[in-house]
Structure 1
Amino acid sequence: MRGRSSMNVRRFPPDDPQEWLSRARSNLRQARVEIEGVYLEDLCFDAQQAAEKAIKAVLIHRKVAFPYVHDLARLLTLVEQTGQAVPELIKQAARLSRYAVAARYPGVVEPVSQEDYREVVSIAEAVVRWAQQMVTPQSEKSGEADGES
């Protein structure tokens, strides 16, 4: 079973924004699945990773070198410096940065509530959709409305 889950995933070169979007969608799928015994903090980490990889896909698409950091505000600033407007909803992704490291360790942050978890996933979903719109050619967008393809 180990290799089965990735066998049907189309892979792209690491410098292709589609690879980063594909990985963002993978993290988002993981973040959406509430499994008994899995901490919400861990699911929020996956949501943060989805947003981070989606933003980095936009940066790659715009030919911008980026630091390997988890600071989403910093990454979004790089996007804005290219002349690309970043909607206010997408700027909320900066709040997800706290889930990149601290939330993965016991006692560093307060436990995540269901409400916080839902909000984090909602923001990540918006970022992935936005990044897809920024990166995907118009002719390919018709079947990818919710980021699931």
Structure 2
Amino acid sequence: MNKDEIKNSADMFLYKAIVDLNSGKYLLKAFNDDEIEIDIEKIYFELQQSAEKLLKSILSREAICFPKSHDIEQIIELCEENEISLVEDIECLVELSDYAVEGRYSIIHDDINEADRYISVLEKLIKVVESAKLL
């Protein structure tokens, strides 16, 4: 998706989710290749933002109102309450919720081991949203 394809708020959330995911992937690669010195929390913050915006894209597409919240678990529950099926292993993204705020202030100290798992789930979910059919 590119900016020219944005037609509504669901598309905007999807576009921004993809941008955030790309940022997280870029930072992760640069970190792993010892090209940059960065707090791991910054990578997870980008992945959290991608997850949040992606879920909000799904809700927007279905015309479902959602709270202004960074709580991924709450947003997933709202999808489930509205009988929206998501991808397998979606629950792992709940772990990213803490990075919405705390991660920006380096309060959380974690290792990078789960990043690839989060990225994999986000990429699967993006494919589902882009095909406009929820599982």
Both proteins in one fold, TM over 0.5? yes
Q: Which runs of 5+ in 2 are unaligned?
A: 31-35
Q: Which runs of 5+ in 1 are unaligned?
A: 1-7, 137-149
Give the aligned partner of residue 4 of structure 1.
Answer: none
- Deviation for aligned residue 1:81: 1.5
- Deviation for aligned residue 1:92: 2.0
Change (3 A) 1:77 1:69: same
Q: Which runs of 4+ in 1 moved over 4 A?
A: none
Number of aligned positions between the proteins? 126
What RMSD, in angstroms, separates the aligned Cα atoms of the two structures? 2.3
Q: CA deviation digits over 1:13-41, x for unaligned, max 9?
A: 5x431111111000000000133023221
Percent identical among aligned pairs is: 24
- Scaled by the length of structure 1, the TM-score of the pair is 0.72
Q: Does 1:117 align with 2:111?
A: no
Aligned partners of 1:61 and 1:9: how far apart in 2?
17
Residue 24 of structure 1 contacts residue 51 of structure 1 at CA under 8 Å; is this kept in 2? yes
Partner SS for 2:37: coil
Q: Which has the larger radius of gyration?
A: 1
1:31 is matched with which residue: 6, 14, 24? 24
Change (3 A) 1:129 1:97: farther
Partner SS for 1:126: helix
Give the aligned partner of residue 75 of structure 2.
Answer: 75
Output the amino acid matched with 1:131.
V
Aligned partners of 2:122 and 2:96: how far apart in 1?
8
Q: CA deviation digits over 1:87-131, x for unaligned, max 9?
A: 44112221111111112213x222x32313333333333333343
2:12 is matched with which residue: 3, 19, 44? 19
- Scaled by the length of structure 2, the TM-score of the pair is 0.79
